[in-house]
Amino acid sequence: MLALLTHWWSLITVALKAHSRCPHHQFDERALCLPRLLPAILTAAETAAIIEATEAAAAKRNYTSSRHTYYATVDLPVSTVYADGGAQAAAAKRAVHKARNATIDDLIHRCGATDPVLHDGFVIKYSTSRQAGLEQHGDGGRYSATVALRRPRLSGVNVPDYASLEPQTCELRKRGFANETCNAAFPERTFSREHFSPEYPLLTYDEFCPLSCLGQSCDEVEPHLRTKCDCGVCASTLTTRENDAYDFDGGGTRFSSLRDVVFSPEMGGAVVHGARLKHGGEDVTSGDRFVLAFFFDEALCQAAEKGATDVLYTSLVVVFVLVPLLVWVAFFADFEDSAKEKIA
């Protein structure tokens, strides 16, 4: 009995902490953390071990395409890779843990995470024969990351030319349609659930910012654009490079809610970002693209979502509804008199 009470109290404590520290992920600012490239978190040998173990496991179990209710991918969970990955299973597990730890470090130092934990890890296989890409979506949890396991033809960050334009300049926005994308090429782009300002989606990254912006001097850049770099944002730039040796063409992660910037890490590199940001996988046009995907959440928030909050609410119902009712029945209800009145 004491053990049950102790467990009950621990769940109540978790739920109370979560109530004050864990806003729903749709309203958590940390889930809007801007994307960033993390280079070379895995070696070529480590990425090869993950692919080999995944293919060995898929030969036994087959790739799944139904683990996620929405926006499903052709994938295998890392637990299956560890269990059925054959000779490379142990090496793959070490590599996955290494990538996970590198990602967690970035989430803590850059995105405001306090205690991020992995709640889903899986290896995705994109190919022209089965699933070439993935439509725009937001992830569950608060943080996401993908690690490139093969060499792309183009790597780096590509910011479209139109990204330097104000988002509210199209006619439909002027007429009051706040969610209009102003870009017919990508009709799925909406901003209704994300903070949006002229500066926010222009995407600047210190590691890609030149000393001058688009050939302009700092004095020529509009003051409201001087927010991230020494002299302004690096919009309308092409920072991708073409690799002579590659395993697939196409691919990359496009963020539709951030002006369709496309991140394409080198093999062994990762894209780390907030889970609420709308993003998707660009289609592969040749070859096979393997990606190690991570979904993270805060440990406290995840524990609360697994039942602690339900225990708290149930306990409150018991304390404020059932207990007073039982007290009333025990001390104030007069069932004998009621029974006598019915007999009479």
The answer on pLDDT for 232 being more than 50 is no
**Which among 277, 115, 116, 256 has a CA at the least distance from the CA of 189?**
256
Beta bridge partners of 77: 122
Cα distance between residue 110 and residue 122, in whole Å: 24
- Pairing mode, if any, of strands 116-127 and 270-274? unpaired
Share of the chain above pLDDT 70, in %: 56
Strand order of the β-sheet with 261-264 is 134-137, 279-281, 253-255, 261-264, 154-158, 241-242
The answer on pLDDT for 68 being more than 70 is yes
What average pLDDT does this structure show over 235-259?
79
**Which among 58, 161, 122, 131 has a CA at the least distance from the CA of 289?**
131
Cα distance between residue 293 and residue 37, in whole Å: 14
Cα distance between residue 229 and residue 206, in whole Å: 6
Exposure string for 295-312, b = 16+ CB within 10 A, e = fewer:
bbbbebbbbbbeebbebb
**Residue 107, Cβ density class (10 Å: 0-12 exposed, 13-18 middle, ≥19 buried):** buried
Q: Phi first, then psi: what are they for 215, rounded to 5°?
A: 80, 0
CA 61 to each of CA 35, 78, 84, 198, 313: distance values in angstroms, whole numbers, following the listed order:
33, 13, 8, 48, 41
Is there a contact between 304 and 161 (Cβ–Cβ < 8 Å)? no
pLDDT tens for each residue of 291-304:
999 999 988 776 66
**Which among 321, 262, 295, 284 has a CA at the least distance from the CA of 78?**
295
CA 112 to each of CA 274, 278, 293, 295: distance values in angstroms, whole numbers, following the listed order:
11, 19, 20, 16
- pLDDT bin (cut points 50, 70, 90) of residue 276 is confident
Is there a contact between 235 and 202 (Cβ–Cβ < 8 Å)? yes
The answer on pLDDT for 261 being more than 90 is no
Average pLDDT, the chain: 74
Q: What is the pLDDT of residue 324?
A: 67
Q: Which amino acid is at 59?
A: A
pLDDT tens for each residue of 74-88:
999 999 999 999 999
Written as one string, the DSSP assignment of 200-259 is: GGG---GGG--SSBTTB-GGGS-GGGTTSSSSS---S-B--EE-SS-SEEE--EEEGGGT
pLDDT tens for each residue of 192-203:
334 433 333 333
pLDDT tens for each residue of 105-116:
999 988 888 889
Highest average pLDDT, of 25-34, 86-95, 216-225, comes from: 86-95
DSSP class of residue 128? S
Domain 8-159+241-301: homologous superfamily in CATH: q2cbj1_9rhob like domain (2.60.120.620)
Lowest-confidence pick of 134-143, 304-313, 319-328: 304-313
Q: What is the pTM of this model?
A: 0.69
pLDDT tens for each residue of 116-138:
999 899 999 999 999 999 988 88
Cα distance between residue 339 and residue 344, in whole Å: 9
Q: Which amino acid is at 210?
A: P
Beta bridge partners of 37: 271
- pLDDT bin (cut points 50, 70, 90) of residue 253 is very high
**Residue 219, Cβ density class (10 Å: 0-12 exposed, 13-18 middle, ≥19 buried):** exposed
What does the chain come to in residues?
344
Q: Which amino acid is at 79?
A: S
Cα distance between residue 78 and residue 99, in whole Å: 12
